Structure formats: structure tokens, C-alpha cells
Structure 1
């Protein structure tokens, strides 16, 4: 079997249910594939080592390719990231976060064994509801997601890929945050088969839900600008789309295209960068006039481009959502702090100011004299006619 596994180098090459009915290390039996993404496959599984196992007691097992090991330093970094993930996975006790039970290597795969959530993802629920949720549903689900995020942040972890597909909903309407594949854990990042120790994560996560600071590539320093508030921005994107039924990145330009080659990818990345850093976010009420004004204010505060203007913690978002759910009023104080603006934003604003100054000076220097000349010419023309 190991020989068959090694012939695949990418997740999308592996056939559906390829590992069904396969025993892992004598402890786990993979039953059927229940999901897949760019970096991994997820299988419904049984714990064969658990004597109290019942037919209703399943696990979920995520399979990811082992990071590419090129030298001893790579091997050390790979082991460090294993230790870090294992340490953090055993310390997350928040009931709104998928519990990780085990972490091991099997042939050329890394496996994360976690609790199985019998239900659907938020993405699937949104699809069933034509992309939108009711006010009551948004207040309930997103306050729960925010509290789950706070649990992640309390462990000094930044998820970096908060999106509907990574929010699981059990049949009794409990939420579970999952998929920490590119989470930022104390400077370690695992991405697409490579282990990297870095202060500045190289992947912005899923572009559609990424915060402005996750896009900034022009900063040559290695300073880590990703913060807990990056996850809060992603939470805001999800709420925006759940209230309007429209993808936020398509609001200002519906012509967004999928990249088909390297040039298209660069063009699309430039477009997303401009949308994230520069384009003003259209109010949700412009698309959905029926939206609750207080909810709109919460969403827009999550979507502030400047980190200083966003909610400081996810628990604050949950608190405000629960308050408006009870009909309570919230007062929003917006304080601008220019020092939190990225160099990219400052540069674009400065260029815009220079352009406005140029236009104004042109008007002052040219328009008034031109109007005076035209007026004198008209007077002379009239005098000639009278003469």
C-alpha cells in the first residue's frame, strides 16, 4: 500500500474513498471519505483501540502529505511543528472547537485524529438557504463562532482561515471550528507540504475571507502583522455574505474571474489586493435594505481595514451580537489611529492626496485666467458688432 500512496504527490490526484476500509497503525479504521481540501483528505473512522467503542461513536481523520524533508534543518523544523501542534491540540478544551485526539504519521502522510461532528458545514447550510440567514440565525450562530474563536485565541493561536467551510454544525445546532491546517502557532506555519519556521506567514489563507494585513506583500520586513483581529475580519466577511447573499469581493466588481494561468493569477491577486486594501466596503443595507442597523454596525466594525478600528477581541463581537438579539442598543465609538495603517494604504492615500492637490492647483492656476480671457473676448466681439 505504501508504494501506491507514494505515486500521488497532490491531494486532488487521490481518488475518492481511496483509503476506505484501511486500518491505520492497528488503531484506526478509515470508513469513508467525508471531505477534502487543498492540503488534506478527511475520513470518517472508528477507534479500534477503544473498548467502549459503539456504532454511534466515530472519529474524523485528516490525512496530509508529510512535509518535504531536504536536509537536517528541515527535519528539525518538521519535528518542532509536530511537537507544537501536538502540544496545542491537547490544550484546547473549548467546546466550540473540534477536539483533536491524536497526531501521528502513517506511511507518507501526517494524520490528525479528531472528534467527528455529525451534521453539516456552515457552507452547506448557506447553500441550502440560498446564501442568506435570518437575523435570529446570524445572532445565534455567529455569536457562537465568535466565542469559539476566543477559545482559539486564548491558546495564543490565530486560525488564519476562518470561512463557512471550516465551521461545522452538529444536528443539535452546536458549532465546531475546525481545520487548523495553516494556523499560526508561535511562529510555525504548515503549508502545502512544507514546514516553515517564520515570523511572517506566507499564505493569506482563503483570499475571499482574508484580512487586508494578510495581503500585504510589499513590506520587506519579517515582522508578523497577522493578529487575532485578522480572524475577526474573516468573521465579518462571513456575516456580510450571510446577510446579503453576495460575496464581499464581488460587490464592487462582479467581473472577478478564476485564474487559468500565471498571468491570470497575478491579475487576480492584484485585484484582490486592491479590493482588500483600498476599495470601500459597500454597506450591507445597500444590498439588503431589511438588515438590522445594529447588526450592520457590528459587521462594518469587524471589516475595518485598520486593525485599530476593529473589535479588539472575538468575545466583544459575541457580546454585541447577543445584546442586539435581546433588543438592547449598542453605542459604537469609532477612533481612527493612523499609526496602524499599512505602508501600502499610506502610499495609496498619499498618491491620492497629491493627485487632488494637483487638480486643485491646476484649477486655481488655469481655470480662472481662462474664464477671464473668454469673458474679455466676448466683450470685444460685441463691441465689434456694435461698431
Structure 2
């Protein structure tokens, strides 16, 4: 029996219990996500546990671990994946992707999730020209934090919050996708999984093998998302920031575009020491929903300085 490429997706028409695979939606170093239909033609997204550095798919569709030395790591990730599905299936919140079912097949585990029509925050940013208005940012992120709070109460972390994992339904409501507990477990265990971090959005403690992770880790990623949505692009990698911090603070970079309160909050989320970030998502949400937000610094200040310089240069002539 020959082994195929480790990222080979199940072909369209494959059956997984009561579900039929329609097509692949995405693939990464940790899993493959499919669009599937049940026997009543309802749409679902199904995530398959398939860590590419540990496992292969054979010609019969079975997931195998070719090197016995990788068996323990594969089983650990599978256990975390299964536990993640179990916890998420017990959470019913409009901003957290709903897990309907999870089961074993093909010598691996599958997680059946709701399929939501809409588009990613990445696409929304592109359509908006790379920057989103404050009103929408505060509304969307406050809603996401409400769902993330429920997740944290279940002792589960997301660990991969980024614009690509924030989805906007057709009605405009945000949805948090692709939790990464098992991915993070493998990443911290084996250097081969370092690429599973999302540079710019991963907190500095995620690069340290023995550093504790917690709600503060997801809060850093939320700050990075806010920074990106303000027009800052992907922030400097946190590991590099610890060596030479070149990330311009939001309070300086976007002071003419956003309120001082939102900018200060973003900078606090992006603090390198975890204890300098907001302590909880509940506290962060409360600050986002506060009504006493000020106005951006007037851009005219910069213009007046320029006009003053020009006036001095011309001897006061207008």
C-alpha cells in the first residue's frame, strides 16, 4: 500500500458517517476542513485532525503514522482535538462556531461544525481599503469577547485568533473560528510545529516552551487584530519585539483616526509582559462597550504646524 501526500484531502463524494464531502475549504499544518452535506442536504464544515509532520493518508483514505516515534505526539494531539470538540459542543453562543458532532473515522477524529455564509475579516478589510471604522471595530470585538469569555470559562483557550479566523455572517455578526488547543500542544512539544504559530498575532509566551498560557495570550492576539484593522497590517512578530521592539504604538500611529481610549486599549493588549495586558476578556469587553470615548486627535494640528513653518519662512507674507 503506497502513501500519498500528507496534505491530500478526502475526494469529493467521500462518506463520513451520515455526511458526504463536497469539497475542501482549507488546509493547514494541523488539519483539513471540508464543506459537507448530511443526508438532508444541510451544509456543515467538517475539520479533520491531520498533522502533516506526523501523519499521512494512505490510498484507502486511512490516516497513518509512518514513524512509530511520532505515535505518542500524534495521540496527544488527537486527544486534545477530541477534548476541544467535546468542550465546544457544550457552548452555545452566537459568536463561537457551534460544534454539532465529533467522531472517529479513518483512524483519526472529525469535528462537525456549523457552516456560516459570509466572509472573513481579512476579506472585509480588503473591501474597506485596509482600515475599518471605530464604530464597527468596537461593536464586533465586544461581541467576540462575549463568546470568548464563555470559552475561557470552560478552561479552553483559542490560541490562534487572527483576522482569518474571525468570520462575519451575512447579517454582520462576527463568528470566532478554528480553535487551536491541539495545534498549540504539538507546537510547544516539538520544534517541527513552530510554523503553526501565526506570526504577528501569536503572543510572545507562545514561543516559549515552559511559559504559562492563559486568557492573556488570547488578549494579545485580539490587540494584534485591532491593530491590523486600524490599517497597521500584521504587527511585528512578538518574538522579534522582545529583542528589538519596532512596533509603532497604535496611540501614535493612528491618533488622527481613532479615539484615545481605543488606541490605549490596543496598546495595552499588545504589551509584551502578560501582566501589563488587560486581565480578563470581561474587563476588555466592558472597556470596548464604554460610552465615554473621546474623539481622534485633530489632523489640523499637523497642518497648523506646517502653516506656521511656512509663514516664518516667507516672513509672514500670505
TM-score bracket, normalised by the shorter chain, equals: 0.7 to 0.9
d(CA) in 2 for partners of 1:216, 1:73? 21
1:62 to 23, 30, 47: 47
How far did residue 138 of structure 1 move?
Answer: 0.6
2:258 to 291, 301, 308: 291
Distance 1:277 1:94, change over 3 A: farther
Alignment check: 8 A CA contact 1:160 1:183 kept: no
Distance 1:215 1:82, change over 3 A: closer
Tell me which stretches of 4 or more aligned residues in structure 1 moved more than 6 Å.
201-204
d(CA) in 2 for partners of 1:279, 1:82? 34
Alignment check: 8 A CA contact 2:160 2:198 kept: yes
d(CA) in 2 for partners of 1:32, 1:172? 25
Alignment check: 8 A CA contact 1:204 1:210 kept: no
d(CA) in 2 for partners of 1:231, 1:206? 12
How far did residue 111 of structure 1 move?
Answer: 1.8
Q: Give CA-to-partner distance per residue, 1:18-60, whole Å, 9 cap, x none.
A: 62222223x1011223333332222221122xxxx3x5x3111
Aligned match of 1:236:
223
Unaligned runs of 5+ in 2: 56-64, 295-318
1:311 aligns with 2:278: yes
Distance 1:282 1:149, change over 3 A: same
Counting matched residue pairs gives 277
1:42 to 22, 30, 33: 33
Q: Give CA-to-partner distance per residue, 1:185-228, whole Å, 9 cap, x none.
A: xxx8255xxx969xxx97772121011222336xxxxx442121
1:7 to 4, 7, 24: 4
Unaligned runs of 5+ in 1: 218-222, 250-270, 330-387
How far did residue 84 of structure 1 move?
Answer: 2.3
Cα RMSD for the two superposed structures: 3.0
SS in 2 for 1:60: strand
2:200 to 184, 208, 229: 208
Structural mapping, 1:189-204, within 5 Å:
189-190=185-186
Structural mapping, 1:17-36, within 5 Å:
19-25=11-17, 27-36=18-27
Distance 1:86 1:39, change over 3 A: closer
SS in 1 for 2:289: helix
Structural mapping, 1:271-290, within 5 Å:
273-276=239-242, 278-279=244-245, 281-288=247-254, 289-290=256-257
Distance 1:302 1:34, change over 3 A: same
> What TM-score do the two structures reach when normalised by structure 2?
0.76
Distance 1:317 1:204, change over 3 A: farther
1:131 aligns with 2:97: no
